[in-house]
Chains A and B, each alone.
Chain A
């Protein structure tokens, strides 16, 4: 019998799964915003700000989920301060300790970037001064983006590391979970940011092709890592015989296969339409007028984003809950 089967489950259930999901979305959206900000052109700045605008709302869901999951929620501050004497509580070798701090600091980056982005956005509420847009501009904006992206990558991946730094079946039997969650977070975030950009259209459209490619690259990496993960586990994969296997299957079908198929179909349709439309008058330059899709077939539909997000949630649920069900109850 594997040594990991003599251990007890953590009772980490749906609250934690949903936290992993939102944490990944927030982190991934921030990274996409920062990449467009740091390395994209001027025409991609609106979409970059969209990444920041998506990041903070997703992040706000996280602390309540984590605190409510504690058995003594009123003591959550023990994560940051010593409870019996003055001083800062920080253990870099404890994934939960360093993760709590990273979440707090990433929250600060995400908040400042959000305010900067909202101040420069057409959706700026009237009470928000327009001059706060400086928060996202110039060298300060770039430093903020770079620092925030570092924390964001940490948030995307540490959850998987936290699961691995245990003695539990599946989790502790592979070092790949952090990598898997990072790839999955990026794919889901690219779909989400792409969806919002598609909906808003106009200035947000130029980044759509890149977001689509980013989503596919991340999804491909996720698929490869998932296959490697299953191969790594060997006979332990039997844990997914049953309801959690259905979740894992959903993660692959909804999150990876269906969106790729959907994109292929749409790209083909787009190419055919493009051939038909070629040679027509200059109206094609303005996509919306010619009836041509403005994002060049890279728009993300509600169905598309729904599938990817459901897949991302299912992946985390399949990995967390399958292990929780093993060992002595």
Chain B
């Protein structure tokens, strides 16, 4: 197996140019018409709005302005992408084996195998995956699997003009990220931290340097695997089946015995009347 590869996205140097979005769409030949809807958001420079089947990179614009727009005013920009989780929820629930882990430890949806059942959409803790309206299959970032196989850098990282998106072997990226956080801390930016270390889903192979709470960036604080619910939910269902099955068994048995022992003149209300009537 090749070395685990990934993205380190340093949001502090993102300038919101969206070159990554364009490069991604261009290389991966994703429709630029947004499923026929060319809609402007009207309240933001962000007209992409979310990651989905035809947006595999999404530059988020977070505006933090106070009432007077002077005392507090900053833009947070973040180029969002599939996190290529080490423990991937989408891969777990995919019923066809269409979602695979590659030799680069990335997560890829094989387009010739996907049936569009959409099980992976709600399984992703980050809401990354959606159906591509052109191919009618689930799509998301592949970390440019085709480019990686021939030793090229993914399109977005290549196009990024500020090195906000960095690509490379995960070991090197983790080291770089650590150094960058230390550098920012030494400059007095104590709020800088890494989102996506081993504590989150075994590690996100695409991880971020953030300067505010995850929720501010639209990221869950403690993302979890869907399978955490598998056993407790199954046991609850099995419990219900056992209760109803046993109740059925016992009520049938006792009633039969009761009917035999008590004779034809009594029983539970009119029920016995009916039974007498139909007995051969």
User: A and B: real partners?
Assistant: yes
Instruction: Please tell me which stretch of B69-77, B161-169, B172-180, B229-237 contacts chain A, meaning at least 4 of its Cβ atoms lie within 8 angstroms of it.
Output: B229-237
Instruction: Please tell me which stretch of B17-25, B187-195, B272-280 contacts chain A, meaning at least 4 of its Cβ atoms lie within 8 angstroms of it.
Output: B272-280
Contacting pair B126 A328 (CB below 8 A): no
Query: How many whole Å from B272's CB to the nearest CB in chain A?
Result: 7
Complex formed: what's the CA distance from A11 to B279 in Å? Answer: 52
Contact of B137 with A by CB under 8 A: yes
Contact of B262 with A by CB under 8 A: no
Contacting pair B244 A182 (CB below 8 A): yes
Closest residue on chain B to residue A5 by CB atoms: B220
Given A35-B252, A175-B229, A267-B269, A7 and B122 touching (CB < 8 A)? yes
Contacting pair B270 A167 (CB below 8 A): no
**Binary per-residue interface labels of chain A (93-110) against chain B in the complex, 1 for a CB within 8 Å, 0 otherwise:** 111110010000000000
From residue 49 to 80 of chain B, which have CB atoms closer than 8 A to chain A? Answer: 49-50, 52
Contacting pair A71 B244 (CB below 8 A): no
By a CB distance below 8 angstroms, the chain B residues around A71 are 115-118, 131, 136-137
Interface residues contributed by chain A, number (CB under 8 Å) = 96
Closest residue on chain B to residue A274 by CB atoms: B270
By a CB distance below 8 angstroms, the chain B residues around A35 are 245, 248-249, 252
Given A8-B122, A35-B252, A179-B236, A297 and B93 touching (CB < 8 A)? no
By a CB distance below 8 angstroms, the chain A residues around B95 are 79, 89, 91, 94, 96-97, 100
Instruction: Please tell me which stretch of A37-45, A122-130, A238-246, A303-311 contacts chain B, meaning at least 4 of its Cβ atoms lie within 8 angstroms of it.
Output: A37-45
Contacting pair A10 B121 (CB below 8 A): yes
Instruction: Please tell me which stretch of A56-64, A111-119, A248-256, A287-295 contacts chain B, meaning at least 4 of its Cβ atoms lie within 8 angstroms of it.
Output: A287-295
Contacting pair B113 A84 (CB below 8 A): yes
By a CB distance below 8 angstroms, the chain B residues around A274 are 269-270
Complex formed: what's the CA distance from A1 to B224 in Å? Answer: 15
Given A40-B256, A149-B245, A10 and B273 touching (CB < 8 A)? no
**Binary per-residue interface labels of chain B (201-221) against chain A in the complex, 1 for a CB within 8 Å, 0 otherwise:** 000000000000001001111
Given A3-B125, A36-B252, A41-B256, A298 and B271 touching (CB < 8 A)? yes
Contact of A131 with B by CB under 8 A: no
Query: How many whole Å from B56's CB to the nearest CB in chain A?
Result: 14
For the A-B complex, the count of residue pairs with Cβ-Cβ distances under 8 Å equals 272
Contact of B123 with A by CB under 8 A: yes
Contacting pair B222 A182 (CB below 8 A): no
From residue 1 to 21 of chain A, which have CB atoms closer than 8 A to chain B? Answer: 1, 3-4, 6-12
Contacting pair A9 B121 (CB below 8 A): yes
**Binary per-residue interface labels of chain A (67-85) against chain B in the complex, 1 for a CB within 8 Å, 0 otherwise:** 0011110011011001110
Query: How many whole Å from A200's CB to the nearest CB in chain B?
Result: 11
Contacting A75 at CB < 8 Å: which of B115, B125, B219? B115
By a CB distance below 8 angstroms, the chain A residues around B223 are 3, 167
- 30 intermolecular pairs with C-beta atoms under 8 Å apart: A3-B125, A6-B127, A8-B129, A10-B118, A35-B249, A40-B252, A43-B275, A43-B278, A70-B117, A71-B118, A71-B137, A72-B137, A75-B116, A78-B115, A79-B117, A94-B93, A97-B95, A160-B233, A161-B230, A165-B227, A166-B93, A167-B124, A182-B237, A206-B279, A209-B269, A209-B275, A210-B252, A214-B247, A214-B248, A292-B270
A178-B237, A206-B278 are known; give 7 further A-B pairs, CB within 8 A. A3-B223, A8-B127, A9-B121, A12-B118, A70-B116, A83-B97, A175-B232
